[in-house]
Amino acid sequence: MQKLLSKIDTSEIKALLDGLIYKNTVLVSGLVIAPVVVAANSYRNALLLVIAFSAITFITIMTASFIPKNIVYTIRIIIYAVIGAMVYLPTIILLEQIMPGALSDVGIYVPLLVANSLIVVKSETRFLKQSKGYMMLDVISYIMGFNVVILIVGIVRDLFANSMLMGHNVNVSVQIPAIAAPFGGFILLGLFAALYRYILNKLKE
Amino acid sequence: MEVIAKFISIALVTVFAENSIFARGLGSSTMLSAAKNKREIAGFGISITFISTISSALSFFVDKLYVNKALSYIYMPLIYVLIIGFVYISTLLCLWKWLPNLFVKIKRYVHISAFNCAVLGALFINSQNGSSFSSYIGHGFGTGIGFLLATYLVSIGYKKLNSDKVPESFRGLPIMLIYIGILSLAFYGMLGYQVAL
């Protein structure tokens, strides 16, 4: 293990935290915004999207890494989306088992994950340029970056719009039902992104 | 005449009342990237409009075959991806053969115009709400024009929202998201009710 760690440069370790911290998938890079601002209006929806996004994105990008590079990009991008759509099949069957009936609450936002920005854009510009082991860790970092943000957004919106905290009723004196609407999602995400940047800058100082 | 009226009314509703970005957030990431370069907005918008309109037209015939069957929601993403892929490849081949200059200009971003949530979302929304051929292509066309409108509106504020006058923590993406939220609120006012997911 020590041998392996000594081979990895510290800048490489830092780069592995890009997706989660320094270039957070949603708050810094501005990727995969739609499910966060529209569908993640409750903790349950957010949790469902976390499972679906993690499974579809991870398996698709890892499988895509085996596609020969000599195939032109025009064709490769279609193959990526087709792989995403094929991974979607077992994923929603699994989701139906884990969270029965929950899929209808997020509507089209789960099937849309088959062509999310990490698969369509980031795979080509970042992930598939790396070695397989490093790429796997980097993809996990970007997935975790999305998961943490969507869960926090889901919990906050659930609390202020539905007076629920992780599935339990709570007494909240301030009710903001508009926070569950798409415009509320955009504004809340903007505020989170600003707060996140402020914290990052303070830590850098 | 009725067909044209239906096409126009659905396209207008999709552009202004149920805008893919402001009402559903579809294609937000793509839009944020497109809004940075004003010269590419028109090309981007036209590409998305073309691909979503043609894909919607093709999906009408596929939906008629499959949409009523149980479990269609499981394999629809695969079918829609293949439809978009077919339109994307055909468009590129046609451009390469007959309009090579345009092909060179748009090949840098045409793949993002085809495979994004706005185009794929248009096909899913059509399968849920669309009834006739004119409503399908009206919604597909409106999705592209709505995307173009949203990108243009965001690009207007882009330079100012990235200036030094904006506090550093808010500069760039955070204030852009808040700006889109305010625009979305204005569009929501026209809609007057919650969009069905």
Contact list, B176 vs chain A (CB under 8 Å): 30, 190
Cβ atoms B73, A73 nearer than 8 A: no
Residue of B nearest to A190 (CA): B174
- Full residue range of the structural domain in which residue B72 is found: 2-155
Round to whole Å and give the CA distance between A55 and B151.
Answer: 31
Distance from CA of B48 to the nearest CA of A (A): 15
Contact list, B173 vs chain A (CB under 8 Å): 27-28, 30, 190, 193
Is pLDDT at A27 greater than 90 in this prediction? yes
Cβ within 8 Å, pair B24-A190: no
Q: What is the mean pLDDT of residues A178-192?
A: 93
| ipTM computed for the complex | 0.90
* Count of domains for chain B: 1
Contact list, B124 vs chain A (CB under 8 Å): 108, 111-112
Contact list, B120 vs chain A (CB under 8 Å): 111-112, 114-115
Distance from CA of A143 to the nearest CA of B (A): 16
All residue ranges of chain B with pLDDT < 70 are 67-71, 191-197
- Say yes or no: B129 contacts chain A, CB-CB below 8 A: no
Cβ within 8 Å, pair A33-B28: yes
Contact list, A118 vs chain B (CB under 8 Å): none
Cβ atoms B116, A113 nearer than 8 A: no
What pLDDT does B147 receive?
Answer: 93
Lowest mean pLDDT among A30-34, A139-143, A166-170, A200-204: A166-170
Distance from CA of A201 to the nearest CA of B (A): 8
Summarised one tens digit per residue, pLDDT across range A119-144 is 988 888 888 888 888 899 999 999 99
Cβ within 8 Å, pair B168-A201: yes
Tokens describing residue B55: 């894909």
Lowest mean pLDDT among A25-39, A133-147, A178-192, B88-102: B88-102
Asked whether residue B109 is domain-assigned, the answer is yes
Distance from CA of A178 to the nearest CA of B (A): 10
Q: Considering chain A, what is the average pLDDT of its residues?
A: 89
Asked whether residue B143 is domain-assigned, the answer is yes
What pLDDT does A203 receive?
Answer: 87
Cβ atoms B109, B43 nearer than 8 A: yes
- Pick from B38, B144, B31, B134: which is nearest to B84 by CA? B144
Q: Which residue has the higher pLDDT, B180 or A7?
A: B180
Asked whether residue B173 is domain-assigned, the answer is no
SS3 assignment, position A164: strand
Distance from CA of B153 to the nearest CA of A (A): 16
What pLDDT does B78 receive?
Answer: 92
SS3 of chain B: CHHHHHHHHHHHHHHHHCCCCCCCCCCHHHHHHHCCCHHHHHHHHHHHHHHHHHHHHHHHHHHHHHCCCCCHHHHHHHHHHHHHHHHHHHHHHHHHHHCHHHHHHHCCCHHHHHCCHHHHHHHHHHHHHCCCHHHHHHHHHHHHHHHHHHHHHHHHHHHHHCCCCCCCCCCCHHHHHHHHHHHHHHHHHHHCCCCCC
Q: What angle do CA B59, B62, B67 make, to 5 degrees?
A: 105
What pLDDT does B196 receive?
Answer: 56
Asked whether residue B123 is domain-assigned, the answer is yes
Asked whether residue B98 is domain-assigned, the answer is yes
- Torsions phi, psi for A101 (to 5 deg): 80, -5
pTM recorded for the entire structure: 0.90
Asked whether residue B151 is domain-assigned, the answer is yes
Asked whether residue B172 is domain-assigned, the answer is no
Structure confidence at residue A43 as a pLDDT band (50, 70, 90): very high
What is the count of residue pairs from A and B with beta carbons less than 8 Å apart?
156
What pLDDT does B37 receive?
Answer: 80
SS3 assignment, position A205: coil
